[in-house]
């Protein structure tokens, strides 16, 4: 044991130990610390008495309040469902025109649709349904599968190339990769396709090239895209004469679409979202489209 000294600053004695110059005071533990410790212990004991706390073999102390997280979640979900069902059940039952002319109901749809769309659809279609390369914009008039409420609802339910039994099939063949057309033919038909939406009609192709392209188009493409190239909702083939492009309207993207083909994938939501939710989304999209410039 070393010598017990007194620290001049605090007046407390040391323990008499010393390590490489470090000493320790033997200061008593200040009372607030004990008080604080006791308070936290009391808090814990009270909590243990009220709540599920200690294991007892294959069961546990249930606590006086009978709290149970699983039950809490179940009741919370149920009461939320009840609150919602007041208006949600109307959506399932009522006619579209009635719903869309009821401003209060539409307010519910806009609020709910925003979160539903944000959590389920925005990752592909963009937060405001503005689309992006490979993912269609959902607020314009260029619909691949039709703009009727039923068509939109059906796309959401069954998806596109989704594996759902009623899925829509979107197959743009790979003309180049699968050797159905040679390189020159693809270049020609690309130029033709580009000329369809180009303001000065000629695009960059010579008249001979466009003529050759047109012929290839009529022979190979018209069956899906239509002889006027306006697309067809039965095949999901896009209108090639407008300025809306799913995969891009520059020469390289068009060439790529034709050479390697395209098979967009849109998941089926039937098993993931309730009927009411899907209907809300459909109306939400229609509403967005009406209100977007």
Partner 1 sequence: MISTLTDTERQIALVISGLLSLVGLVLSAAGRHDPLGAQGFIILAFGLSGVFLVISGFHLPEPTEKRFSHYYDEPIKAGIIIAMLWAIVAMFVGDWVAWLLAYPEMTFDAAWASFGRLRPIHTTGIIFGFGGNALIATSFHVMQRTSRTRLADQLSPWFVLGGYNLFCILAVTGYLMGVTQSKEYAEPEWYADIWLTIVWIAYFALYLRTLARRKEPHIYVSNWYYLAFVLVVAMLHIVNNLAMPVSLGSSKSYTVFAGVQDAMVQWWYGHNAVAFFLTSGFLGMLYYYLPKRAGRPIFSYRMSIIGFWGITFFYVWVGSHHLHYTALPQWVQTLGMTFSVMLLVPSWIAAANALLTLNGAWHKVRDDATLRFMMVAALFYGLATFEGSFLAIRPVNSLSHYTDWTVAHVHAGTLGWNSMIIFGAFYYLVPQLWKRERIYSPVLVEVHFWLAIAGIFIYVFAMWNSGVIQGLMWRTYNNSGTLAYSFIDSLNAMHPYYIARATGGLLFLMGAVIGFYNICMTIRSSPAAAKTRNEQPATIGQSRLRPGE
**Long-range own/partner contacts, residues 194-202 (CB < 8 A, 24 or more apart):** 194/249, 194/251, 194/254, 196/229, 196/240, 196/241, 197/240, 197/241, 197/242, 197/243, 197/249
Q: Is 180 annotated as a binding residue?
A: no
Are 176 and 259 in contact, with CB atoms under 8 Å apart?
yes
- Kindly state whether residue 14 participates in binding partner 1, applying the rule CB under 8 A: yes
Q: Is 164 annotated as a binding residue?
A: no
DSSP label at 6?
B
Q: Among 187, 189, 191, 276, which residue sits at the site for ligand HEC (rule: CB under 6 A)?
A: 189
Q: Is 51 annotated as a binding residue?
A: no
Q: Among 162, 257, 286, 288, which residue sits at the site for ligand HEC (rule: CB under 6 A)?
A: 257
Cα 186–Cα 192–Cα 193 angle in degrees, nearest 5: 85
Are 52 and 37 in contact, with CB atoms under 8 Å apart?
no
If DSSP codes are grouped into helix, strand and coil, which group holds residue 232? strand
From the list ligand HEC, partner 1, none, which binds 9 (C-beta under 5 to 8 Å, kind-based)? Answer: partner 1
Q: Is 233 annotated as a binding residue?
A: no
From the list partner 1, ligand HEC, none, which binds 36 (C-beta under 5 to 8 Å, kind-based)? Answer: partner 1
- Kindly state whether residue 145 participates in binding ligand HEC, applying the rule CB under 6 A: yes
* Residues facing 135 on adjacent strands: 132
| Residues at the contact surface with ligand HEC, assessed by CB under 6 A | 120-121, 123-125, 134-136, 138, 143-145, 152, 155-156, 160, 170-173, 175, 189, 193, 217, 220-221, 223-225, 235-238, 240, 245-248, 254, 257-258, 262-267, 269, 281
Binding-site positions for heme c read 121, 124-125, 172, 221, 224-225, 266
């Amino acid at each position: 044991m070393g010598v017990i000294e007194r620290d001049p600053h605090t007046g407390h004695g040391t323990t008499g130990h010393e390590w490489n110059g470090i000493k320790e005071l033997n200061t008593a533990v200040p009372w607030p610390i004990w008080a604080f410790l006791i308070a936290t212990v009391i808090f814990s004991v009270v909590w243990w008495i009220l709540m599920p706390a200690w294991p007892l073999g294959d069961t546990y102390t249930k606590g006086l309040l009978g709290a149970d997280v699983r039950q809490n979640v179940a009741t919370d979900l149920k009461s939320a469902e009840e609150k919602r069902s007041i208006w949600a059940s109307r959506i399932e039952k009522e006619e579209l025109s009635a719903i869309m002319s009821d401003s209060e109901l539409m307010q519910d749809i806009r609020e709910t649709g925003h979160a539903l769309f944000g959590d389920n659809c925005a990752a592909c279609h963009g937060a405001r349904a503005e689309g992006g390369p490979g993912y269609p914009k959902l607020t314009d008039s260029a619909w691949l599968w039709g703009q009727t409420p039923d068509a939109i609802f059906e796309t959401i339910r069954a998806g596109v190339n989704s594996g759902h039994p009623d899925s829509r099939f979107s197959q743009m063949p790979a003309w180049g990769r699968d050797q159905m057309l040679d390189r020159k033919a693809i270049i020609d038909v690309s130029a033709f396709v580009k000329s369809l939406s180009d303001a000065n009609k000629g695009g960059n192709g010579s008249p001979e090239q466009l003529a050759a392209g047109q012929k290839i188009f009529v022979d190979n493409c018209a069956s899906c895209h239509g002889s006027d190239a306006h697309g067809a909702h039965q095949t999901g083939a896009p209108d090639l004469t407008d300025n809306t492009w799913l995969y891009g309207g520059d020469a390289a993207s068009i060439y790529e679409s034709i050479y390697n083909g395209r098979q967009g994938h849109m998941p089926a939501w039937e098993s993931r979202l309730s009927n009411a939710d899907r209907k809300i989304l459909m109306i939400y999209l229609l509403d967005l489209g009406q209100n977007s410039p």
